[in-house]
Amino acid sequence: MRRIKLVVAYDGTAYQGWQIQPGAPTIEGELNKALTSLLKEEIQVIGASRTDSGVHALCNVAVFDTGARIPAEKISYALNRYLPEDIKIQNSVEVAADFHPRRCNSRKTYEYRILNREFSLP
């Protein structure tokens, strides 16, 4: 088995957050479904962090284990064809089997935008 790291960007407007929830569309659910279709094996991603409903991300990290032989750097190209337009893989690389996205030395940056005006922007 190989461990593959994905860098994921998404517009979370249509999703109920990262984590799988019964009967609701989620980023994790879409990734699992697309990877399972692409690699022809049951895939469960592990994300670096969860996001709430409607939240967007530029560089959320996820990993998954696979026995598939497709080169790691090609997975991002192939996977993007299986994903909806509002979820895109920015990068895919093979990492050490013990790499875990929640335990690596990284930083999270949150940006909040509040539109405080009478009329919304298109």
User: Can you give the pLDDT at residue 4?
Assistant: 98
What does the pLDDT read at residue 111? Answer: 73
Query: What was the pLDDT predicted at 113?
Result: 76
Q: In what order do the strands lie in the sheet with 57-66?
A: 46-47, 57-66, 2-10, 87-95
Q: Nearest-CA neighbor of 9 among 66, 58, 47?
A: 58
Q: What is the DSSP letter of 53?
A: T
Residue type, 98: D
For residue 121, what pLDDT is reported?
65
Taking only the tens place, the pLDDT of each residue in 75-111 is 999 999 999 999 999 999 999 999 988 776 666 677 7
Q: How far apart are CA 78 and CA 94, in angstroms?
A: 15
65 classed as catalytic: no
Catalytic one of 52, 65, 86, 98: 52
> How many residues in total does the chain contain?
122
**pLDDT value, residue 51:** 81
Q: What would the pLDDT profile of 9-40 be if each residue is shown by its tens digit?
A: 999 999 999 999 999 999 999 999 999 999 99
- Residue range 35-83, pLDDT digits in tens: 999 999 999 999 997 788 888 998 899 999 999 999 999 999 999 999 9
Start-to-end Cα distance in the chain: 47
